[in-house]
Amino acid sequence: MSDKPPSYESKLRRPMHVGCRLSEKEYALVSAAATDANLAPADWFRRTILDSLAPKDEPTPTLLLEEIEALKLIFASTVPPILAGTRMQKDQSAALMRDCDAAKTDAAKKVLRAFTDRKDRP
């Protein structure tokens, strides 16, 4: 077992240091976010900065959620007429697609807001 303090090992693994100053409000936001992520503020800060620099080759979860919400809206709008045995005209289906495309972002934001507001999530 080594008698060197952990900060010494950290300096060897990460020898470069970048500092910045935060207002009390900014520090409170960073501290709260770090606490929510169960990380030290420095670790949360490092992870957040490095994640923001990562290439964005994959779609974001928000984009995927928007598309899922669009499919739900289309499904909810087309099933009742199908069950009633009626047909949808081309202009009706085009209008439905435009409406669902316009509403998907708001629907996704609503789902994300409901998730972040949940008290029982980890």
Model confidence band, residue 13 (pLDDT cutoffs 50, 70, 90): confident
Q: Are residues 108 and 66 in the same domain?
A: yes
**Torsional class of 85: left (φ above 0), alpha (ψ -120 to 50), beta (otherwise):** left
Per the domain annotation, does 11 fall within a domain? no
Q: Are residues 113 and 86 in the same domain?
A: yes
- The pLDDT assigned to 1 comes to 46
Q: Are residues 26 and 66 in the same domain?
A: no
Domain that holds residue 43: 19-53
Q: Are residues 96 and 48 in the same domain?
A: no
Q: Are residues 46 and 69 in the same domain?
A: no
- The pLDDT assigned to 5 comes to 52
Could you give the CA distance from residue 112 to residue 89 in angstroms, rounded to a whole number? 34
Total number of domains constituting the chain? 2
Model confidence band, residue 121 (pLDDT cutoffs 50, 70, 90): low
Predicted confidence (pLDDT) at residue 4 exceeds the cutoff of 70: no
Token reading at 114 = 């409901």
- The pLDDT assigned to 20 comes to 87
Chain mean position to CA 57 = 16
Q: Are residues 49 and 74 in the same domain?
A: no
In DSSP notation, 42-97 reads HHHHHHHHHHHHS---SPPHHHHHHHHHHHHHHHHHHHHHHHHT----HHHHHHHH
Residues contacting residue 59 through CB under 8 Å, at least 6 positions apart:
none
Computed over every residue of the chain, the mean pLDDT equals: 82
Predicted confidence (pLDDT) at residue 36 exceeds the cutoff of 80: yes
Question: pLDDT (tens digit, 9 = 90+) per residue, 43-89?
Answer: 888 888 888 887 776 667 788 888 999 999 999 988 888 888 888 88
Q: Are 39 and 58 in contact (CB under 8 A)?
A: no
